[in-house]
């Protein structure tokens, strides 16, 4: 790689005393992770290159040139592809997307067979990376080769994931990354990449806001975005000991328990009012004490609730005694009715039994006559049949004739003897049935009377139980109402509330102890942050003047970077600069071996985020001077890529610090305007401001 000029320094900028502020014995020879080359392909077969962009360590300015010719025709520096370039670099470094959804769709539509490729150095090892614009093609990565070799012979489909794993392991080596975040999860490469390449849509609003939902970047999935982002930064800077994380997690658990306990205490403290209303409404609604809702609880007040309840209980008790007396009389009536029913019921059963026996005897007497008649009829029916023994018709058989004569005599005798007895028995049975019917009516009437008495007794028993239960319930309601009133007034201790209050006291004591331990840890870490503080202050003075001071504070809220003028905050005009210099400080600490920063930093259009032009120019000059100061031969131990539409300072505009110019005669990033897939219209590439966030 050819040498680069890193010696440009504006005479307006203050001297850069970084080497005097930080130990130089662990300075990296080059960034841990940085991009040497980015290539855009329209297709791989045939090979069609859209743009080949060389990058280098140190300062890389991507300038969106704005031009106005003699005819007053204006060419804006926005919409030329600066943000897309940043997103493509991030895409090669492991992000899953390379722009907002509509922008990515336009790129895919315009270049359906397109790819982006990069040559990336990771831990002093060359890697070639190839990623498609299309959604259903594989990404590839290969070590120790240039892009041309990767295109000639692609590795396996798992190769890019292996490269991404290498990025994570190389960048997180030596970083306390396990169980650091508030969710208990670990720091990932995705978090470091976000820290090193803020979304333009985030507008440099705070040091911890790296991603914006408008950008459709990969979500960071932080449980507490501000806290987790600052924990990541502190871990990278080596300002996050394991004990602090344990204490922080302990504090979170205690805070959660305190909140739950306070909620339970509040609920418990509201219980007396709730139960007061409940039991008063119940006394009125269920037990007819209309004055219950407003009556006082004074037992000496004749119109107080205790007196009203007492009178209600007395009435209920009086009714209970009346019911008991009614039940006693009812028992006597039931006994008498049972006795009156017993005799006719027994006689009814006897009459029925006798009638049934008489009917059975009559049937037996008539059965003998019926048998003789059936035998006589069968002989007559067989008169024409042939007798095989006498070889004559049965009707002409003498034996059959004699048998018929005998049967007639027997029938005559049976009828004369049996029929009068059967008739007598039938008359007797009829009389018994009449008697049984009369007895049934009497028994039914007596049984109905008895059942009515029993039903009334059951109703009285139910009412007695209800009255007894109501009397007890009314008294219980009053007792509980008085007890809750005593709890509310403090005359009676609520054991559950006391337990909760004691638990809260214990938790708050533990919380105070944990906070004290955390304060001690933060104090110790704050002393360890002196090198960060010196570096930040030096960058502030180099960018602005010695009238300004850079201050770094470590507290429970996280890490704060502030620019102070005299003894006051410098104002809104310096807020964006404070964030840029904070990022640059972390980058510099990594370059000097004082932190595990990946070594690459991408700022997309910070000038457009309310940064003054003069301050922006001084910032670029100071960064260039910093690169020159720490340059080691041909390489600078960090890579800083920044995009802008504001012309760089004259000292830098013609140097290799301007890595790429876009717009006007330099053309668009993709060499043409992108076509919309929906309407197939020609759209300019990604406005860098508020239109599409590219």
* 26 band by pLDDT with thresholds 50, 70 and 90: confident
Give residue-wise pLDDT tens across range 645-684. Answer: 999 999 998 889 999 999 888 899 999 988 876 655 444 4
Distance of CA 165 to the CA centre of its chain: 30
Q: What value does the mean pLDDT of the chain take?
A: 85
User: HEC profile for 418-486?
Assistant: HHHHHHHHHHHHHHHHHHHHHHHHHHHHHHHHHHHHHHHHHHHHHHHHHHHHHHHHHHHHHHHHHHHHH
Greater confidence (90 vs 487) lies with 90
335-394 pLDDT, tens per residue?
998 888 787 777 777 767 876 777 666 676 667 666 666 666 776 666 656 666 666 666
Residue 474 pLDDT greater than 80, yes or no: yes
Measure the CA–CA gap between 62 and 116, rounded to whole angstroms: 18
**Average pLDDT of the residues in 140-158:** 95
The per-residue pLDDT for range 612-658, each reduced to its tens digit, is 899 999 999 999 999 998 988 889 999 999 999 999 999 998 889 99
Residues above pLDDT 70, as percent of the chain: 83
- Per-residue pLDDT averaged across 411-416, rounded? 67
| CA distance to 275, 418, 487, 514, per residue, from 494 (Å) | 14, 98, 6, 30
Confidence of residue 308 (pLDDT cuts 50, 70, 90): very high
Residue 315's pLDDT band (boundaries 50, 70, 90)? Answer: very high
Kindly tell me if the per-residue pLDDT of 690 is higher than 50: no
- pLDDT tens per residue, range 523-561: 877 777 888 999 999 999 999 998 899 999 987 778 899
Q: Name the nearest CA neighbour of 130 among 33, 31, 194, 37.
A: 37
pLDDT band for position 13 (cuts 50, 70, 90):
very low
Q: pLDDT tier at 79 (50, 70, 90 boundaries)? A: confident
The pLDDT score that the predictor gives to residue 691 is 33
User: Could you tell me where the beta strands, DSSP code E, fall in 338-434?
Assistant: 386-387, 392-393
Residue 73 has pLDDT above 60, yes or no: no
Q: In this structure, what DSSP letter does residue 273 have? A: H
Identify whether the C-beta of residue 97 lies closer than 8 Å to the C-beta of residue 74: no
Token pair recorded at residue 297: 């609880």
Give the Cα-Cα-Cα angle 134, 140, 144 (nearest 5 degrees).
145
What pLDDT, on a 0 to 100 scale, did the predictor assign at position 578? 94
CATH number of 305-492: 1.10.287
Structure tokens at 396: 């002409």
| Helix-then-strand count for the chain, H and E | 15, 18
Query: What is the third-level CATH fold of 18-239+529-683?
Result: Rossmann fold (3.40.50)
Supply the pLDDT for residue 659.
95
> pLDDT-derived band of residue 417, with 50, 70 and 90 as boundaries?
low
Whole-angstrom distance, CA of residue 660 vs CA of residue 577: 23
Reply yes or no on whether the pLDDT at 287 is more than 70. yes
Nearest to 667 by CA among 146, 65, 93, 96: 65
Please state the φ and ψ torsions of residue 400, each to the nearest 5 degrees.
-65, -35
Q: What is the mean pLDDT of residues 89-98?
A: 96
Strands 639-644 and 58-64: parallel
DSSP 570-623: --GGGHHHHHHHHHHHHHHHHHTTSS---SEEEEESSTTTT--HHHHHHHHHHH
- Two tokens, residue 674: 């992108």
Between 393 and 575, the higher pLDDT residue:
575
For residue 571, name the pLDDT band (cuts at 50, 70, 90). low
Average the pLDDT over 555-580 and give the result. Answer: 81
Model confidence pLDDT, tens digit, residues 183-230: 889 999 999 999 999 999 998 989 999 999 999 899 999 999 999 999
Write the pLDDT tens digit of every residue in 504-522. Answer: 999 999 999 998 988 888 8
Q: What band does 324 get if pLDDT is binned at 50, 70 and 90?
A: very high
Q: Could you tell me the pTM of the whole model?
A: 0.67
Look at residue 7 in the predicted model and tell me its pLDDT. Answer: 40
Paired tokens of 546? 């010695």
The H or E element containing residue 416 is helix 398-489
**pLDDT at residue 122 tops 90:** yes
pLDDT of residue 381: 66
């Amino acid at each position: 790689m050819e040498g680069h000029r890193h010696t440009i320094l504006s005479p307006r900028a203050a001297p850069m005393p970084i080497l005097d502020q930080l130990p130089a014995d662990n300075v990296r020879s080059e960034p841990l992770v940085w991009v040497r080359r980015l290539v855009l392909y329209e297709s791989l077969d045939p090979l069609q290159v859209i743009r080949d962009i060389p990058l280098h360590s140190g300062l890389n300015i991507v300038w969106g040139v704005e031009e106005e010719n003699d005819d007053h025709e204006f060419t804006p520096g926005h919409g030329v592809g600066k943000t897309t370039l940043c997103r493509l670099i991030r895409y090669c470094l492991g992000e899953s997307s390379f722009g907002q959804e509509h922008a990515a769709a336009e790129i895919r539509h315009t270049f359906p067979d397109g790819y982006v490729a990069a040559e990336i150095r990771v831990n002093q090892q060359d890697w070639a990376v190839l990623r498609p614009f299309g959604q259903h093609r594989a990404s590839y990565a290969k070590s120790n080769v240039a892009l041309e070799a990767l295109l000639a012979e692609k590795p396996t489909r798992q190769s890019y994931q292996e490269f991404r794993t290498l990025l994570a392991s190389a960048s997180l080596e030596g970083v306390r990354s396990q169980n650091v975040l508030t969710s208990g999860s670990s720091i990932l490469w995705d978090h470091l990449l976000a820290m090193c390449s803020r979304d333009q849509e985030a507008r440099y609003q705070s040091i911890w806001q790296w991603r914006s939902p408008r950008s459709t970047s990969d979500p960071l999935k932080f449980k507490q975005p501000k806290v987790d982002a600052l924990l990541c930064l502190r871990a990278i800077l080596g300002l996050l000991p394991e004990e602090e994380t344990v204490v922080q997690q302990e504090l979170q658990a205690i805070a959660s328990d305190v909140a739950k306990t306070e909620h339970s205490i509040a609920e418990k403290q509201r219980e007396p009012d709730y139960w007061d209303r409940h039991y008063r409404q119940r006394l009125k609604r269920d037990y007819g004490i209309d004055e219950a809702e407003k009556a006082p609880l004074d037992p000496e007040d004749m119109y107080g609730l205790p007196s009203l309840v007492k009178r209600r209980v007395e009435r209920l008790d009086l009714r209970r005694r009346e019911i008991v007396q009614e039940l006693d009389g009812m028992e006597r009536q039931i006994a008498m009715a049972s006795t009156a029913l017993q005799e006719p019921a027994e006689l009814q059963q006897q009459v029925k039994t006798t009638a049934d026996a008489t009917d059975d005897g009559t049937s037996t007497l008539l059965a003998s006559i019926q048998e003789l008649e059936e035998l006589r009829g069968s002989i007559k029916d067989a008169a024409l049949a042939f007798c095989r023994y006498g070889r004559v018709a049965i009707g002409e058989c003498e034996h059959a004739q004699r048998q018929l004569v005998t049967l007639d005599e027997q029938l005559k005798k049976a009828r004369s003897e049996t029929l009068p007895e059967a008739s007598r028995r039938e008359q007797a049975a009829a009389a018994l049935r009449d008697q049984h019917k009369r007895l049934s009516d009497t028994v039914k009437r007596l049984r109905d009377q008895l059942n009515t008495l029993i039903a009334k007794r059951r109703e009285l028993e139910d009412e007695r139980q209800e009255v007894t239960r109501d009397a007890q319930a009314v008294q219980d309601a009053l007792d509980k109402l008085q007890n809750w009133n005593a709890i509310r007034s403090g005359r009676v201790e609520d054991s559950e509330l006391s337990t909760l209050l004691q638990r809260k006291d214990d938790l708050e004591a533990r919380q105070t102890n944990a906070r004290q331990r955390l304060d001690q840890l933060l104090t110790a870490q704050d002393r360890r942050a002196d090198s960060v503080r010196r570096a930040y202050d030096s960058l502030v003075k180099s960018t602005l003047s010695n009238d300004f001071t850079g201050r770094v504070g470590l507290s429970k809220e996280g890490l704060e970077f502030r620019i102070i003028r005299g003894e006051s905050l410098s104002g809104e005009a310096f807020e964006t600069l404070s964030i840029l210099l904070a990022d640059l400080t972390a980058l510099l600490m990594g370059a000097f071996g004082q932190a595990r920063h990946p070594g690459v930093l991408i700022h997309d259009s910070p000038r457009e985020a309310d940064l003054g032009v003069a301050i922006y120019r001084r910032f670029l000059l100071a960064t260039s001077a910093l690169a020159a100061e720490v340059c080691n031969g041909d390489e600078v131990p960090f890579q800083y890529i920044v995009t802008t539409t504001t012309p760089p300072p004259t000292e830098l505009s013609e140097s290799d610090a301007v890595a790429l110019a876009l717009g006007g005669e330099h053309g668009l990033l993709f060499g043409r305007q992108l076509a919309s897939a929906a309407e197939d219209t020609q759209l300019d590439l990604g406005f860098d401001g508020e239109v599409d966030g590219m």
